[in-house]
């Protein structure tokens, strides 16, 4: 039994090939996991404060949205058109929902959206929406930053296509 695990009986060329295959397998496994399962990120800016602070490290679950769509309230990593960097925002409304920002509140399908993750007294300004109702197209999601005063989000660039969502942010 001892000889089964004793590398001294394995020819040198075979040991080199085994080591090379182990290194290659490790590199390929890392690349596959970081591309399709789990990724890392870092918050850059204040658009998600106070829940996510500038410089905070994040784990991004890249696999979850291959199995299901995001839920309202989830924090997602997404890639904006024409940008290389990931952006972090919160899903507010789903395809087919009617969104309106009125009186400092977000209304989804005519009801004020409860937002326990926002600081007390936080108001949401309508920006480019001009307090108009906005129907979310099929395959798109309405996203907002938690720091509504300092966030470029769906109020400015519209709903985000499903294929732009990279994954769910986990701490």
| Residues carrying an active site annotation | 47, 89
Nearest to 57 by CA among 78, 40, 75: 40
Token code pair at residue 23: 């290194």
CB 89 within 8 A of CB 47: yes
What strand order describes the sheet that includes 160-161?
A: 38-42, 57-61, 165-170, 75-79, 86-93, 140-144, 160-161
Token code pair at residue 1: 């039994």
CA distance 60 to 14: 39
């Amino acid at each position: 039994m001892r000889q089964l695990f004793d590398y001294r009986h394995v020819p040198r060329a075979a040991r080199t090939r085994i080591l090379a295959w182990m290194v290659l397998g490790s590199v390929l496994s890392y690349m596959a996991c970081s591309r399709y399962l789990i990724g890392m990120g870092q918050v850059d800016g204040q658009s998600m404060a106070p829940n996510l602070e500038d410089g905070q490290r994040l784990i991004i679950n890249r696999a979850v949205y291959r199995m299901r769509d995001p839920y309202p309230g989830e924090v997602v990593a997404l890639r904006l058109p024409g940008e290389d960097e990931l952006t972090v925002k919160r899903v507010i409304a789903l395809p087919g929902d009617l969104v309106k920002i009125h009186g400092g509140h977000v209304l989804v399908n005519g009801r004020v959206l409860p937002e326990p993750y926002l600081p007390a007294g936080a108001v949401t300004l309508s920006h480019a929406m001009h307090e108009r109702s906005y129907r979310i197209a099929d395959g798109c999601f309405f996203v907002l930053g938690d720091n509504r005063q300092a966030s470029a989000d769906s109020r400015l660039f519209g709903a985000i296509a499903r294929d732009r969502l990279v994954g769910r942010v986990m701490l």
